[in-house]
Every structure is written in structure tokens, then in C-alpha cells.
């Protein structure tokens, strides 16, 4: 496996070694010892999978403490634009994001640590899979609106299909203002 660190601390793109022949292919999608040697020493406690048709956009989502989650994300079939936004208030990259193309042909993955908002847009029909370091908790849900003008993310889709719930998420400015208020008390 190849582990590529990004410009944002803790955010890592992973490319597995794929063994293929005329019958198909095989690869290790997760191996705890190799991940730990590459700065991902976390235990995963929950696996999730979703199917999205081309044009669906999900996010930007996160879980608040004490249920914050690190995620190992990939597509099983299809291709998506994957976005991770740093929402760690003390981080020098607070409010910055990285964009990845997750492609079932490459089988690449991204490790997204706790303290990031995450979302993806399906460029084609896709099965999206992710391992989480903490269990989901509905009361700890949070998010930022996908088309936030300050983040200015190019999702690669002109008119995405977004859930009603995601259309009601706050802007990054509203989110960061709330975080600053909480930290000052």
C-alpha cells in the first residue's frame, strides 16, 4: 500500500496494491498493522455503506464530541468526488479542504480523522463504503451546507441531488461563529 499525506495534517490518501489477472483482482483494503505504521493507529468500530445514483451529493457531515468519528472511505463501485473540510478550531488549516477522486478502478481510499466535515458527490452510480472509529449518534450530528460561499467547493456536478436535511445545514461562517462562542465560554 502507498500512503500519501496531504497538505492537511492527519488526512491521508491510500492506494492499495492490486493483484490482478484474467480472472479478476484482489487487494487488501485494510490491515491494522500497516495502517498503524502509517499514522492511522485507530480501531474501527462501525462499517457503513450507501448507494448513490449519479448526481447525488451527500454532506458535509460530522459527529460532535464525544461521538466524533475518524473515517476510512472508499467506493466499491463507481466514482465520486470526496471532500474533507478541516473544522478543528486550533488547526492552522481550519476551514481548508482537500478534494479526492475516489474511483473503484483505482480502489483508492482516504483516511479522514476526527475534526473534519465530510461529503461526496457521485459522478456515476456508486456504492460508497466507510469504516468509522466511533459509533454514530443522532444527537451528535452536525454539518455545513454543501454550497457554502466561503468554502467555494467545486463538486463537479452542476445541479446535484441534495437531501432536504442537507439543504438546511448552516454555513461555514455560522458554524465557526458558534465554535468560537463555545470556546470563549
Q: Is 93 helix (H, G, I), strand (E, B) or coil?
A: coil
Whether 130 is catalytic: yes
25, 56, 121, 162 from 158: Cα distances, Å: 34, 11, 11, 12
3, 13, 17, 51 from 8: Cα distances, Å: 14, 11, 24, 28
Kindly provide the residue ranges of all beta strands, DSSP E only, lying in 23-157, ordered along the sequence.
24-26, 46-52, 56-63, 71-77, 79-86, 97-103, 109-112, 116-122, 126-132, 141-143
Indicate which residue of 25, 30, 61, 173 is catalytic: 61
Asked if 54 and 125 touch (Cβ cutoff 8 Å), the reply is yes
Indicate which residue of 25, 118, 130, 173 is catalytic: 130
Whether 25 is catalytic: no
Instruction: Return the exposure string of 50-74: e unless at least 16 CB atoms fall within 10 Å of the residue's CB, then b.
Output: eebeebbbbbbbbbeeebbbbbbbb
Cα(148)–Cα(142) distance, integer angstroms: 15
Give the active site residues: 61, 130
Amino acid at each position: 500500500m502507498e500512503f500519501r499525506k496531504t497538505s492537511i495534517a492527519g488526512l491521508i490518501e491510500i492506494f492499495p496494491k492490486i493483484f490482478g489477472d484474467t480472472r479478476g483482482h484482489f487487494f487488501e483494503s485494510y490491515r491494522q498493522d500497516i495502517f498503524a505504521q502509517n499514522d492511522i493507529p485507530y480501531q474501527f468500530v462501525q462499517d457503513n455503506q450507501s448507494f448513490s445514483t449519479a448526481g447525488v451529493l451527500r454532506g458535509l457531515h460530522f459527529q460532535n464530541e464525544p461521538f466524533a468519528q475518524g473515517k476510512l472511505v472508499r467506493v466499491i463501485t463507481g466514482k465520486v468526488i470526496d471532500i474533507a473540510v478541516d473544522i478543528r478550531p486550533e488547526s492552522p488549516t481550519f476551514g481548508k479542504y482537500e478534494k479526492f477522486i475516489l474511483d473503484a478502478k483505482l480502489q483508492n481510499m482516504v483516511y479522514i480523522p476526527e475534526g473534519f466535515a465530510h461529503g461526496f458527490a457521485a459522478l456515476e452510480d456508486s456504492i460508497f463504503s466507510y469504516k468509522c472509529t466511533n459509533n454514530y449518534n443522532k444527537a451528535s450530528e452536525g454539518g455545513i451546507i454543501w454550497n457554502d460561499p466561503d468554502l467555494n467547493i467545486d463538486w463537479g456536478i452542476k445541479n446535484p441531488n441534495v437531501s432536504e436535511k442537507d439543504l438546511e445545514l448552516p454555513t461555514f461562517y455560522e458554524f465557526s461563529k458558534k465554535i468560537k462562542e463555545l470556546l470563549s465560554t
